């Protein structure tokens, strides 16, 4: 087993030259002066000069970079984005603010004040002398994701931060490795494959039966947990040919029940995986906020690695099952058919993992891709289902209208088809409005691999991005901008995707709505997610009505502070806090009650 070097030690070793060279140069010059001139330099002065050389060299580097970036921007007839001011040196105040907001605040709220202060939706959020550009401008995001795609990448800094969980999977790779993962994945999200709903139906039936049973016991249900199990089992069966049976663990009871901490449920493999996966994402999110110096906060122990023990225990049986299927196929000489197929061709009953394992037996590649797909297949659709049902519980008029469409188009018991979903305009509008206000991936980041000039806004000069600069963007904040969506941008109103507001706002500028990203890295599972979310909502609304949120079932730590009720927008109306890691989720779950529909 290879020796694991603590992150902090590795960080110091990698930065050793910059720590040694300046004092060495000063010491060397001191000795030359002593030996070849009559000038005497005392030892303590030489020591002081050696120590002083470190901050002096660093300051010169920072000043030189600032000067160079300003001149390069001017050479392109552009300007750098305005820098967010900080009362403390080195951006320490901004770092403290970012970490506090992550723990106690509402997603992105600190940027709202910066917009008003700077008069710009594009800014430099510099922390510890590391430039971090940030934008919510549709034209800038369009350039990053599409029109100037080749100028941006995930980049080595982001990949280093995420490697502990995502490895070199599709969400953490660039270049040929990204193209490889993309090519492997694309065939499994074709219309034919994602339009067969047997898997969805089987797991939705199990989930809704458990929902009925818990409600009949007199308890509300954490719909986020239920949706997570439904999407986990559906995704693993669809993509890996192995249902991990997370629904078999049962759904949790609210915190006030004596059954809430039943040890058997807590220690179920699927539940242990979910907790470890969630904590690993939390650690990664903290790394992105701490920037390139994150190893100093995990000096002696990689906190993601602790969770990977549990995660790998869950993933390894999925990989082992795929390897076993390949061996069985070879033993039965079915691999003759495999060898005869054209490169990239996918067999009818072949899963994504089965397909991938024919091209590589590298366990790291297989494990990385499995985890990346699980992140996409489980967390993102769970978010959509959870917040859609939460919004329906808060908007009974929308619930009534949507349920009426379900009953008119599908009926009380029939399984929905692809054609049904295609015809259900209001359902799609409800899902889109949910994704607008609560996108599954609220914040994202790229890194420039060359100098970039972004278009100016409303006649303002273009903006310049130096090479190797982080550029973050937020669809969560962009989707809520009043100047892009109208004065009611903070309100949940599915009709905005059906009435004249489509022509007013979305049609002229389609990049204001990007729940699945855009460009070459657009989410391949977009239609799969729409279908899975639609299927679950239809099945639930066929059987249930009168959805209500139950605040007393929320864990105390998940409740917003009372002063938030005075805030504008959804911060003032949300009944639980949002957890924004790599993906968005409801802190403490989303506890709902509902009534079984009268089908007589």
**521, 145 in Cβ contact below 8 A?**
yes
Rounded Cα–Cα distance for residues 535 and 196 (Å): 11
Rounded Cα–Cα distance for residues 78 and 461 (Å): 6
Rounded Cα–Cα distance for residues 243 and 237 (Å): 4
- The candidate with the shortest Cα–Cα distance to 125, out of 481, 470, 579, is 470
Rounded to the nearest 5°, which phi and psi values hold at 174? -130, 175
CA distances from 466 to 120, 129, 143, 289, 454 (A): 19, 15, 15, 20, 11
Rounded Cα–Cα distance for residues 523 and 170 (Å): 11
For residue 322, the surrounding DSSP H or E stretch is helix 303-331
Rounded Cα–Cα distance for residues 356 and 351 (Å): 9
Compute CA 126 distance to the chain's CA centroid, rounded to the nearest angstrom: 22
- The candidate with the shortest Cα–Cα distance to 376, out of 582, 106, 553, is 582
Rounded Cα–Cα distance for residues 79 and 76 (Å): 8
Rounded Cα–Cα distance for residues 479 and 481 (Å): 6
- Coil vs helix vs strand at 123: strand
Rounded Cα–Cα distance for residues 258 and 46 (Å): 69
- Coil vs helix vs strand at 596: strand
**474, 183 in Cβ contact below 8 A?**
no
Quote the strand ranges of 101-253, DSSP E: 122-124, 132-135, 152-153, 221-222
What's the residue count for the chain? 600
- The candidate with the shortest Cα–Cα distance to 248, out of 214, 206, 202, is 206
Q: Tokens for 559?
A: 């409740």
Question: Taking each helix axis from N to C terminus, what angle separates 198-216 and 223-240, rounded to the nearest 10 degrees?
Answer: 160
Rounded Cα–Cα distance for residues 333 and 91 (Å): 63
Q: What is the DSSP letter of 491?
A: S
Q: Within 13 A of 581's CA, how many CA atoms are on the CB side?
A: 16
Compute CA 401 distance to the chain's CA centroid, rounded to the nearest angstrom: 31
**552, 256 in Cβ contact below 8 A?**
yes
Number of Cβ atoms within 10 Å of the Cβ of 150: 9
Residue found by looking up tokens 């049986």 in the block: 317
**259, 219 in Cβ contact below 8 A?**
no
Residue 523 annotated as part of some ligand binding site:
yes
> Under 8 Å CB-to-CB from 130, ≥6 apart: which residues?
91, 291, 292, 293, 470
DSSP 3-state helix, strand, coil percentages of the chain (rounded to 5)?
A: 60, 10, 30
Binding residues for heme: 523
Annotated binding site: 523
């Amino acid at each position: 087993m290879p020796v694991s070097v603590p992150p902090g030690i590795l960080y110091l070793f990698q930065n050793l030259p910059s720590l040694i060279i300046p004092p060495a140069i000063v010491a060397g010059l001191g000795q030359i002066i002593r030996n070849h001139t009559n000038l005497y330099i005392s030892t303590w002065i030489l020591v002081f000069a050696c120590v002083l050389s470190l901050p002096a060299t660093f300051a010169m580097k920072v000043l030189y970079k600032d000067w160079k970036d300003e001149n390069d921007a001017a050479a392109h007839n552009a300007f750098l984005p305005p820098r967010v001011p900080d009362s403390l040196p080195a951006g320490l105040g901004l770092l403290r603010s970012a970490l506090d907001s992550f723990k106690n605040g509402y997603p992105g709220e600190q940027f709202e004040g910066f917009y008003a202060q700077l008069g710009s939706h594009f800014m430099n959020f510099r922390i510890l002398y590391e430039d971090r550009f940030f934008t919510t401008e549709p034209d800038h995001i369009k350039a990053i994701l599409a029109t100037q795609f080749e100028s941006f990448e995930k980049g080595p800094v982001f990949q280093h931060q995420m490697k502990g969980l995502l490895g070199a999977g599709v969400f953490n790779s660039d270049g040929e490795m990204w193209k490889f993962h993309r090519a492997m994945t694309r065939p499994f999200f074709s219309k034919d494959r994602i339009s067969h709903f047997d898997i969805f139906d089987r797991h939705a039936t199990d989930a809704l039966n458990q929902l009925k049973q818990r409600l009949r016991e007199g308890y509300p249900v954490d719909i986020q947990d239920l949706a997570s199990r439904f999407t986990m089992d559906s995704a693993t069966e669809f993509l890996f040919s192995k249902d991990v049976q997370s629904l078999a663990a049962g759904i949790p009871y609210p915190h006030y029940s004596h059954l809430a901490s039943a040890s058997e449920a807590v220690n179920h493999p699927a539940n242990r995986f979910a907790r470890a996966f969630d904590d690993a994402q939390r650690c990664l999110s903290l790394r992105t906020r701490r920037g390139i110096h994150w190893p100093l906060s995990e000096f002696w122990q990689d906190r993601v690695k602790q969770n990977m023990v549990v995660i790998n225990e869950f993933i390894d049986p999925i990989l082992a099952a795929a390897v076993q299927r390949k061996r069985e196929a070879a033993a039965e000489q079915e691999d003759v058919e495999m060898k005869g197929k054209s490169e990239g061709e996918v067999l009818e009953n072949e899963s994504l993992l089965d397909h991938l394992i024919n091209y590589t037996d590298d366990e790291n590649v297989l494990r990385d891709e499995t985890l990346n797909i699980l992140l996409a297949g489980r967390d993102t659709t769970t978010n959509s289902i959870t917040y859609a049902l939460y919004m329906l519980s808060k908007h009974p008029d929308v619930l009534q209208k949507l349920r009426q469409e379900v009953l008119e188009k599908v009926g009380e018991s029939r399984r929905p088809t692809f054609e049904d979903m295609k015809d259900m305009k209001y359902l799609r509008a409800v899902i889109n409005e949910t994704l607008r206000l609560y996108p599954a991936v609220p914040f994202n980041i790229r890194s420039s691999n060359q100098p970039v000039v972004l278009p100016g806004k409303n006649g303002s000069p273009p903006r310049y991005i130096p090479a190797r600069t982080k550029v973050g963007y937020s669809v969560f904040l962009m989707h809520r901008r009043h100047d892009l969506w109208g004065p009611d941008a903070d309100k949940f109103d599915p009709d905005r995707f059906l009435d004249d507001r489509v022509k007013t706002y979305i049609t002229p500028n389609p990049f204001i709505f990007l729940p699945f990203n855009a460009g070459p890295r657009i989410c391949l599972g977009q239609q799969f997610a729409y279908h899975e979310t639609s299927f679950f909502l239809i099945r639930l609304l066929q059987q249930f009505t009168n959805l209500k949120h139950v605040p007393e079932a929320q864990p105390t730590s998940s409740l917003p502070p009372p002063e938030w009720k005075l805030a504008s927008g959804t911060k003032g109306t949300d009944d639980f806090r949002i957890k924004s890691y790599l993906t968005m989720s409801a802190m403490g779950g989303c506890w709902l009650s509902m009534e079984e529909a009268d089908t007589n």
